[in-house]
Amino acid sequence: MARWARPALSAFRPWRPAGWRSLFTEVGDVLGEGRQGPSGRTDMVATSLWGVRTAPCAVGLAVLNSSITGGRRPISFSASASSIFGSGGNSKKEKLFLQDIVELIQARACQRVVVMVGAGISTPSGIPDFRSPGSGLYSNLQQYGLPYPEAIFELAFFSHNPKPFFTLAKELYLRSCRPNVIHYFLRLLHDKGLLLRLYTQNIDGLERVSGIPASKLVEAHGSFASATCTVCQRPSPGKDIWADVTEDRIPRCPVCTGIVKPDVVFFGEALPQRFLLHVLDFPMADLLLILGTSLEVEPFASLSEAVQSSVPRLLINRDLVGPFAWRPRSRDVVQLGDVVHGVERLAELLGWTQELQDLIQQETEKVQTADRVL
């Protein structure tokens, strides 16, 4: 289910025990619990998606309550920031502000940051979202002769007529869009050792292009980075299909001649197995950062409530959305308006502006060099 997905999702289903064990092995080092997996039951994974606390979710919770000094020099927090850790002499849950989040990050009191992002972080790179009236992709799909806009991402329609999807894919591909300041801010979070995981609804792959390693990414709605034959299920790198797509040919499997579809999640398809990392990541998080999303698409949207109630949540967004609007928490901080400006403001308060500018220049030069070589 990608950025265009319907709010209701019935496609998510429990994974086989073997798949779960493989996933747990992948994150064993993150948890520091060796290579032992859970009992193998998958029902607890499915129920945890909807907010039910289960045994694996308890792993690492002690980290959230660990001392924030730990041999470092004493830290002076604002009264509201101190109240998070009960060190302010006031048990009242006071409202937090952006400066409080900044203090917590600077003091290394937030070292496991989980990030959720949507289409709003890619529109500054020139990639249209799907729902904005007039400018969104859904408003401009008439040229593809669809019975209704969503059909372009439905398996039944794709199997009957894949050309509209590949025509749209070609249009997006040829835009040659580059990461923007938001992507590089998230890359800086990673470089500083603060990023536990980045959950993205976007399929454009700009998080990868910005230099965030795949191990830190959960592309909840898939991406164009890989592709799979719809008949024999033969996998292939996504780049293998673009020669055909750019020449307006339907990519075909070299083995069975079936249509090769990018691993973008269509309506009715299961989410990628890596999405199950949320079972481990969100209970461990000590800060949740949400950027550029409507929080309308399930099950992605429900993750915004998966962190502990004591964990600060920072929303930088155009609008007030999801639980920030209808069930806010005392630790919520909201920065409304242009997302780029909001992220730049956060970087400024953190004292990261120069580092961010240097990183953008460095990565831009890499891209320009690569383009010259090609």
Q: Give the orientation angle of helix 339-350 with respect to helix 181-191, to 10 degrees.
A: 30
Which residue among 160, 183, 190, 221 is the active-site one? 221
Distance of alpha carbon 87 from alpha carbon 325, whole angstroms: 29
Transcribe 119-184 into DSSP letters: GGGTGGGT---SSSTTTSGGGG-GGGT-SSGGGGGBHHHHHH--HHHHHHHHHHHTT-----HHHH
SS (H, E, C) 219-280: ECCEEEEEEEECCCCCEEEHHHHHHHHHCCCCCECCCCCCEEEEEECCECCCCCHHHHHHHH
Which amino acid belongs to residue 205?
Answer: G
- Enter the tokens of residue 331: 């630790």
- Establish whether 229 is an annotated binding residue: yes
Distance of alpha carbon 167 from alpha carbon 228, whole angstroms: 18
Note if 221 is an active site residue: yes
Question: Does residue 231 contact residue 202 with C-beta atoms inside 8 Å?
Answer: no
Question: Does residue 264 contact residue 258 with C-beta atoms inside 8 Å?
Answer: no
Question: Does residue 228 contact residue 261 with C-beta atoms inside 8 Å?
Answer: yes
- Enter the tokens of residue 166: 């590949």
Question: Does residue 197 contact residue 275 with C-beta atoms inside 8 Å?
Answer: no
- Establish whether 256 is an annotated binding residue: yes
- Establish whether 57 is an annotated binding residue: no
- Establish whether 253 is an annotated binding residue: yes
Q: What are phi and psi of 228, to 5 degrees?
A: -145, 140
Find, among 52, 136, 107, 125, the residue nearest to 367 by Cα. 125
- Enter the tokens of residue 198: 């980045």
- Which residues belong to the annotated binding site? 229, 232, 253, 256
Please give the positions annotated as active site: 221
Annotated binding residues for Zn(2+): 229, 232, 253, 256
